[in-house]
Amino acid sequence: MFGLFGNKETTMDNSNKLKEGMLKKESRHRKVWRDRWVVLTETKLYTFENQGVYRNPTEAIDVKTIKTVKTDESKAGFNFVSNNII
């Protein structure tokens, strides 16, 4: 199965990981909450379906486009807003 980038397999360079961990993410189209493995690098925030599998991210967000990061008091978590999802 190929992901976000069509038929081209995309692999993240995991040598520049800053942080990684599990995240609950709301899908853009169906608005369903899903568990995603998230990796933050110096330039991108990637989401993957499974931990440790750094191919075919479900999303790759340029960190320069992230406008805000704030605590979501109702869910004891964080929210961020990005204008440009790649």
Please report, for the domain that includes residue 19, its CATH number.
2.30.29.30
- Work out the pLDDT band at 1, boundaries 50, 70, 90: very low
pLDDT in tens, 4-35: 555 566 777 777 889 898 888 877 788 888 88
Task: Label residue 25 exposed, middle or buried (CB < 10 Å: 0-12, 13-18, 19+).
Answer: middle
Q: Which helix (H) or strand (E) holds 20?
A: strand 17-26
Is residue 61 assigned to a domain? yes
Answer left, alpha or beta for residue 78, where phi above 0 means left and psi between -120 and 50 means alpha: beta
Return the pLDDT at 2: 44
Return the pLDDT at 76: 58
Is residue 4 assigned to a domain? no
Return the pLDDT at 73: 65
- Work out the pLDDT band at 79, boundaries 50, 70, 90: low
Name residue 61's amino acid: I
Radius of gyration of the chain (CA): 13
Write down the pTM of the prediction.
Answer: 0.71
Find the domain containing 63 and state its range: 14-82
Angle at 80 between CA 45 and CA 31, to 5 degrees: 90
Domain count of the chain? 1
Question: Which tokens go with 72?
Answer: 């979501």
